[in-house]
Structure 1
Amino acid sequence: MTRTILIVGASRGLGASLRARYSSEPSTKVFATSRTTAPDTTPGVTWLTDIDVSQPNVGQKLVSQLPKSIKISTVIITAGYFGFETFDAPDWEKQVQMYTTSAIGPVFVVHHLVKAGVLGEGSKVILVSSESGSITLRHEKEGGGNFGHHASKAALNMVGKLLSLDLKPQGIAVGLVHPGFMRTEMTKSVGFDKYWDAGGAVTPDEAAQSLVSFIDGFDLSKTGEFWAPRGPGDIGTAEDVLGKDLPTPLQLPW
């Protein structure tokens, strides 16, 4: 039986690794989005181009490029933006972009996919969040700053919870995931590469492997929940806040 995966934000980082992993499966068809042109011609991948989650028309543009009557088994929204800030130097434009990309755009993507009949009973929506969006896990040992990054992920978590309530009657499961602290250009661009080793950062391929396994077992029984498929290993405040001997996967607090 063929399944169809849609990856929003598939040109780099985790999205690119998910694209490669899913497209290697003979029974899986992959639709992948790019903000510009198709970056390659990976077999088994159909590119949807000029898809920018920070733009108001993202949902319409996405649906317009999908084949008529297509049914998506799982949509994974990985698109993100991280603009570094401190208390002494907050940045208005960076914050607006982070909130728009993380917490506003996904609502319109999911809305248009559902209204077009692309998502329906049995479909899954996976929103890639971050443990940084957990208010409970914030701890004095990591300090403040990076307001837009943390707060936009907290907003995404609320968006996912609300979507889960709207879509559960239609049989659509919605999950929030912290895929892991990753060795990507995004974390390097804000200087977090200096924490990669101490923080247990993994490659996007390693994070994708864990996430795919988690998605395979994700269903309506977990809809609206926030999970770390790789467990607490890269979450610096997990033991301080939640205690020791934590399980993997780990359900995270809001």
Structure 2
Amino acid sequence: MPTVLVVGATRGLGLELVKQYAARGDTVYGTARSNKPQKTPNSINWIDGIDIAEESAGEKLAKSLDGSHKLDIVILAAGYFGFETFDKPDFEKELLMYKTSAVGPVFIVHHLFKAGLLAKGSKVIIVSSESGSITLRHESEGGGNYGHHASKAASNMVGKLLSLDLKEHGVAVGLVHPAFMRTEMTKGVGFDKYWDAGGAVTPDVSAKSLIEFVDTFDISKTGQYWAPRGPDDIGNAEHVLGPKDQLSTPLQLPW
């Protein structure tokens, strides 16, 4: 069975991913910034003290895994959303969003690869968002949330560049919009008022779709940007890409 690492596994999507991978019998590692969450399966191997926004995270993680075996699947699911408007941008929030979404993943993947934990056939999935697509931004939604959108666009570029560096080694790198989710993160920025109209799903539903997508993902799709659940929760899909009934699931997203 595959060996899976989920970075950012203590809540929301990340927590559901480690639970579902463990339930199907895979060897599962999950990272936590501090302590592991309560009431999780005993089969999950927790690695504490890993904050993707810190420079030391990649090296600490690689040392904790000790290089004894290959990671078949690595999912970078750690996230942070700091709400902003044009009238009130926030410098510190933006820095943390960039470090979490775009800076940290470079160092995590670098150290895992240099430690021999990624090899031919390994898959690296960076959880991005449709919000990082410049093409999908439309006047109907207005501006604001600069750090959120721009850090996800930067995350997409990081994933694309990593895919170019790792392709010759047989390591596939993908970017995904997992779903619009009903989580404390989206509620915390006031997006719960859009849950129903926007087709938001619970993290367990999103995790199931993502796992199914990762199972089919391989080197032929490396460097690509996908929405495993299709266009249904992408608000601007019809404005930009055309009628939803003519769009595929999974849906390859435009940059």
TM range (shorter): over 0.9
Check whether the contact 1:180–1:228 (CA below 8 A) recurs between aligned residues: yes
Q: Show structure 1 runs of 5+ residues with no match.
A: none
Residue matched to 2:247: 246
Please give the alpha-carbon distance, in whole angstroms, between the structure 2 residues aligned to 1:68 and 1:158.
Answer: 28
Residue matched to 2:166: 167
How far does residue 45 in structure 1 lie from its aligned partner after superposition? Answer: 0.6
5 Å matches for 1:60-139?
60-139=59-138
Give the 3-state SS of the residue equivalent to 1:76 in structure 2: strand
Residue matched to 1:23: 22
Please give the alpha-carbon distance, in whole angstroms, between the structure 1 residues aligned to 2:191 and 2:162.
Answer: 31
How far does residue 67 in structure 1 lie from its aligned partner after superposition? Answer: 3.7
Letter matched to residue 187 of structure 2? K
Select between 95-104 and 39-48 the one with higher mean Cα deviation.
Answer: 39-48
Please give the alpha-carbon distance, in whole angstroms, between the structure 2 residues aligned to 1:44 and 1:246.
Answer: 39
How far does residue 64 in structure 1 lie from its aligned partner after superposition? Answer: 1.4
Please give the alpha-carbon distance, in whole angstroms, between the structure 1 residues aligned to 2:144 and 2:50.
Answer: 30
Q: Show structure 2 runs of 5+ residues with no match.
A: none
Select between 171-180 and 64-73 the one with higher mean Cα deviation.
Answer: 64-73
Residue matched to 1:10: 9
Please give the alpha-carbon distance, in whole angstroms, between the structure 2 residues aligned to 1:164 and 1:156.
Answer: 12
Check whether the contact 1:6–1:30 (CA below 8 A) recurs between aligned residues: yes
Letter matched to residue 248 of structure 1? T
Please give the alpha-carbon distance, in whole angstroms, between the structure 1 residues aligned to 2:171 and 2:37.
Answer: 31
How big is each residue's C-alpha offset from its partner over 1:12-55, in whole Å with a ceiling of 9 and x where there is no partner?
A: 000000011000012x1000000002223522210000000000
Residue matched to 1:155: 154
Letter matched to residue 51 of structure 1? I
Residue matched to 2:212: 213
How big is each residue's C-alpha offset from its partner over 1:151-196, in whole Å with a ceiling of 9 and x where there is no partner?
A: 0000000000000000000000000000000000000000000000
Letter matched to residue 52 of structure 2? V
Give the 3-state SS of the residue equivalent to 2:140 in structure 1: helix
TM-score, normalised via structure 1 length: 0.98
Check whether the contact 1:107–1:159 (CA below 8 A) recurs between aligned residues: yes
List structure 1 segments (4+ residues) > 4 angstroms apart after TM superposition: none
How far does residue 96 in structure 1 lie from its aligned partner after superposition? Answer: 0.3
Query: How many percent identity over aligned positions?
Result: 66
Please give the alpha-carbon distance, in whole angstroms, between the structure 2 residues aligned to 1:210 and 1:97.
Answer: 28
Letter matched to residue 101 of structure 1? T
Check whether the contact 1:23–1:43 (CA below 8 A) recurs between aligned residues: no
Please give the alpha-carbon distance, in whole angstroms, between the structure 1 residues aligned to 2:249 and 2:2.
Answer: 27
Q: RMSD of the TM alignment (CA)?
A: 0.7
Select between 58-67 and 36-45 the one with higher mean Cα deviation.
Answer: 36-45
Residue matched to 2:45: 46
How big is each residue's C-alpha offset from its partner over 1:88-143, in whole Å with a ceiling of 9 and x where there is no partner?
A: 00000000000000000000000000000001100000000000000000000000
Letter matched to residue 182 of structure 1? M
Give the 3-state SS of the residue equivalent to 1:141 in structure 2: coil
